[in-house]
Amino acid sequence: MEPCSCAISEMEPQGNDASILSIWNNALFQKTRQYLIDGMKAPGKIPTDDPSIFDCCASCPVAEPQRFQSSEDYYAILKNMLRRFKRRPGQMIRKLLNLNRLVNAGAKGVSAVDAKPVIANIDATNLCNIRCLECSVGSDEHPHPRGFMPFLVYEKILGEIGHGLYYAELFRYGEPLLNPDILKMIRLAEKKYGIMTAISSNFAMPLTDEFLRGVVESGLSELVVAADDIDQDLYEKYRVSGNVHTVIDNVERLVKIRKEMNSHHPSIRWQTLIFSFNEDRKEIIEKFVMDLGVDKFSYRPAYLSPKNYDLRPKETELRGHHSDKKSQIQKAELDCQDIELGTECKLTVDVIQNAFREEMPASSETGGIRVGIKLADKNKSEVADFGRIFFDKALQPDETVRLTKGLRFDEVEELDRVAYLKIDLVFENRFWFEQNLEIQSNPYYLAVKFKELAEVEVSAGNPSN
């Protein structure tokens, strides 16, 4: 059980007999709620090093306006709950009273809440049939044991919190349709507890008509089909091993079956992430998928780590960038013009603390904020992480400091690719300032040239007799 879809929990794995409500109000959740109420509502606060709150919340890279549920979000929940009121008045009144207690607790800044969750993310499985580039499951980096959530565990969860839940996402890390009990899970939530359910699926496995009828019959409220193009060559640039033709065939048949069954459920939304290879194809993709009969089309930026920056769209608005991005690295220079391997060069970096509106603490031996140095090629794509420079004192807002570090390049692999030092601030083990959507710094690129490589090029261009 974790606080948001970004989190990899620091909590010990819970057994099948663990109480969801006891976890919901344990010390870790209470302190995290208080931190979010007191600290993270104010942009410009230094992320905390407190180990007793969720690390993902301490270093949250999501911009402040997107971090908290707005009053409009709650009104949307209320509106949808009222739509179900006629069919299940007693059940909906119970959910509304629970929602009211939860909202009041938030308004009062109470960290221990006398209410059940109204929204839950319950992961049906952390197995998947394709390999998306940024997915921890696809890259085999996922830290939890693999498998399916047992139906009995799922029943226990809903038995404990289902009467308060309004909305449940039955997906997170894996492909939910792989779980053999997924239709039973949807039916239990929708038909016994009155919970609106949503599934996000790559929809890229062959599905029978019988299974698709089961999806409609289950009462699933929303199906999100995650596919980024309708051209196979472009689609598989990010969703490796997937087949978009299978996706399209499944969608066509589901739309047909839903119509035959005279049902409005599930609402089908085709979701396309924006990359460099499809940012100019929005209208083409949207027209195609709407003609298939889906109900909605969404087009949203993808989160991309530096290893996949070559897939970022060129249009800055699509990348979610600030128009007034700042640089914390004001200037950097080396005392070597043509770098000789085996010798040390001194790097001098001028830094300004303009990321936070409060004091930025000095670096610690175990973490904190530091100057990070990476190697980059001629296209400014990252080649390797190269080093750190510590801050030996705290910096006040708009204070500047000059730092130095000796650099040697003797053991650098792929030295022939290196054209720049890429310099930025990094909150160690959490995020680079360039990646944090609230800070969004501009890294500093310092061009470098190596004497040995230059001599090799000259020799190759002028062979001796």
pLDDT band at 443 (very low <50, low <70, confident <90, very high): very high
Kindly report the number of other CB atoms within 10 A of residue 363's CB atom. Answer: 19
For residue 340, what are the contacts with CB-CB under 8 A and spacing of at least 6? 450, 451, 452
What is the reported pLDDT for 415? 87
Query: Is 364 part of a structural domain of the chain?
Result: yes
pLDDT above 80: residue 13:
no
CATH classification of the domain holding 230: 3.20.20.70
CATH classification of the domain holding 431: 2.60.40.10
Query: Is 462 part of a structural domain of the chain?
Result: no
pLDDT in tens, 214-270: 999 999 999 999 999 999 999 999 999 999 999 999 999 999 999 999 999 999 999
Enter the tokens of residue 76: 């949307």
For residue 349, what are the contacts with CB-CB under 8 A and spacing of at least 6? 329, 331, 332, 371, 389, 402, 403, 404, 405, 423, 444
Helix (H, G, I), strand (E, B) or coil at 76: helix
| Total number of domains in the chain | 2
- Please tell me whether residues 286 and 408 are part of one structural domain: no
Distance of CA 289 to the CA centre of its chain: 25
- Please tell me whether residues 278 and 352 are part of one structural domain: no
What is the reported pLDDT for 70? 58
pLDDT in tens, 327-384: 999 999 999 988 888 889 999 999 999 988 888 889 988 778 999 999 999 988 888 8
pLDDT band at 73 (very low <50, low <70, confident <90, very high): low
Do 450 and 76 meet the contact criterion of CB atoms below 8 Å apart? no
Do 284 and 232 meet the contact criterion of CB atoms below 8 Å apart? no
Nearest to 428 by CA among 377, 371, 378, 386: 371
pLDDT band at 64 (very low <50, low <70, confident <90, very high): low
CA angle 283, 285, 289 (to 5 degrees): 120
Q: What is the DSSP string of 268-292?
A: EEEEEEE-TTTTT-HHHHHHHHHHH
- Please tell me whether residues 134 and 262 are part of one structural domain: yes
Q: List the beta bridge partners of residue 301.
A: 274
- Claim: this prediction has a pTM higher than 0.85: no
Average pLDDT of the chain, as a whole number: 84
| Element of type H or E holding 388 | strand 382-390
Last residue of a domain, one of 261, 284, 311: 311
Greater confidence (305 vs 335) lies with: 335
Q: What are the start-end ranges of the E strands in 119-185?
A: 119-121, 131-132, 167-169
Last residue of a domain, one of 262, 283, 311: 311
What is the reported pLDDT for 453? 61
**Domain, as residue range, for 267:** 20-311
